Amino acid sequence: MQERSKLIGLVGGVSWTSTLEYYRRFNEQVYLAQGGYASARLLISSINFSEILAYQKSGRSDLEADFLVQELQRLEKGGAECALICSNTTNKTVETLRQSVSIPILSLPESVALDAISKGLRCVGLLGTTYTMYGTFYRECLEAHGLKVVVPNEAAGTMVHTIIYEELVKGAVLQRSAGILDEISRDLVRLGAEAIILGCTELPLLRNKMRAECAFLDTIDIHIARALEFAQVLKRTVVC
């Protein structure tokens, strides 16, 4: 009998559209790795996105962290052996959260930085919410690993933010918006980016519609790969 893999806990609902993508890809990757009838061992706590979004909009990171601690503790009590928050923006309080649970929290920014370094990248473009692109938490993590980070100008960044919150989190995946991301990605390449981080877990939903001829770092795939390495489903592929 095959040894049981570790139970992976997910804080989902941030948003539900990207959480669906996490669930689908987790199970695809486990099936590809193990075959047969294998699927992923997951424990999901799916939150009401509007609650945490209110804390983010008001800048109340303390209340956001308190909210997330409750979800992470539910996962821990349910037997999860590690935890992922299925959102780039919502990973900004990870260092605080790690003090409140005993299970490892696999940070998305850390996972992306490790993946970029393993690919030999030196300069990356960052797309995501305005909190991610223009805040400090993501940039500081990438820069701590020796990466240079470039972001869109404010007007372009606002367009990306709007596409995320007014379309993707509501399930609208539009060709027009993919074209906008293509052009912004090309601009970042002109600024020196060797690859573009799709730094919001909704942005990969547009990937199949995008046409820009540049490298992209899909944060959902990167996060899942690290979790499956931890769960001993996949062999290690990133430098830790």
Q: What is the pLDDT of residues 128-158, one digit of tens each?
A: 999 999 999 999 999 999 999 999 999 999 9
Residue 125: the pLDDT is 98
Instruction: Say what the pTM is.
Output: 0.93
Residue 189: the pLDDT is 98
Q: Which residues of the chain have pLDDT under 70?
A: 1-2, 234-240
CA 240/CA 193 separation, integer angstroms: 23
The edge-to-edge listing of strands for the beta sheet with 42-46 is 42-46, 8-12, 82-85
* Structural domains in the chain plus CATH codes: 8-108+221-230 (3.40.50.1860), 113-218 (3.40.50.1860)
Q: What is the DSSP letter of 200?
A: S
Residue 236: the pLDDT is 54
Residue 4: the pLDDT is 82
Judge whether 209 and 116 are in contact, CB under 8 Å: no
Pairing of strands 42-46, 148-150: unpaired
Q: What are 63-102's pLDDT values in tens digits? A: 999 999 999 999 999 999 999 999 999 999 999 999 999 9
How many C-beta atoms lie closer than 10 Å to residue 214's C-beta? 15
